[in-house]
Amino acid sequence: MMLNTADTHDFIDQLTLEGVPWHRLTTPYGRGDELPKLLKDLASLKNRESVESSVRKISHLIEHQGTLWHVTPFATVFLARIFRSALADASTNPVAHQAVDHIGELFAVLLESVRDAQKLEHADPLPKFVDLLTEDSLWPDDEEDDELRWEEEEVFSDSMFYSFWFYTKEVLTNALNGLEEVPQEFTESISSLKGLL
């Protein structure tokens, strides 16, 4: 299957926090309603405690025991932006430095999950990242039948399910390969992340 990388990069670049229907995307614990606030809190780099708490909570919502979720590639778009912004300030701002460390550790977990998924037999991903936001891909606005839906044999199509991993990797590949100047103290950790791509 031929995928248009340029389309994917354009979609990633143009995506806004408000443009993602978080309440219609799944996490290990339900819907992704909490993510916009958590991502905004993290982006504010308020203090070390806030950064650590935000990354921990986001991590629990986007990855669980090696499984990635419908929210994961979308949350990763904004985590990558925060990571790059914090990286630019990390040499002089200890809170930004901590954000780079914690987000980098989360990226390593995501990429290891992707690597494991790619070793298994899997379907082709959906042709475009934006296909994860079509009406057919989204859960209904009403959460009343969520429990019943989880009990269905095929909650997600095979292509959609694999797309959670595939497009998470596309986001991280786009973000990490786009890094030009990296502060010396992060050269090794960024190199390790790139090695997981």
Between 96 and 5, the higher pLDDT residue:
96
Alpha carbons 50 and 71: distance in angstroms, whole number: 21
Of 60, 144, 156, 54, nearest to 99 by C-alpha is: 54
pLDDT at 118: 94
pLDDT at 47: 95
Taking residues 10-14, report their average pLDDT: 94
- CA 119, distance to chain mean position in Å, is 20
Taking residues 125-148, report their average pLDDT: 90
Which pTM was predicted?
0.94
pLDDT at 95: 97
Of 175, 20, 162, nearest to 82 by C-alpha is: 175
Query: Band of the pLDDT at 24, cuts 50, 70, 90?
Result: very high
Packed helices 5-14 and 158-177: angle between N→C axes, nearest 10 degrees: 80
Of 1, 131, 105, nearest to 51 by C-alpha is: 105
In the chain, alpha helices (H): 5-14, 35-43, 48-62, 72-89, 94-119, 146-150, 158-177, 187-195
Q: What is the pLDDT of residues 102-117, one digit of tens each?
A: 999 999 999 999 999 9
Question: What's the chain's average pLDDT?
Answer: 93
> Does residue 54 contact residue 171 with C-beta atoms inside 8 Å?
no
Taking residues 88-103, report their average pLDDT: 95
Q: What is the pLDDT of residues 67-85, one digit of tens each?
A: 999 999 999 999 999 999 9
Decide: helix, strand or coil at residue 153.
coil
Whether 137 shows a pLDDT value over 60: the answer reads yes
Whether 178 shows a pLDDT value over 90: the answer reads no
Whether 2 shows a pLDDT value over 60: the answer reads no
Taking residues 127-151, report their average pLDDT: 88
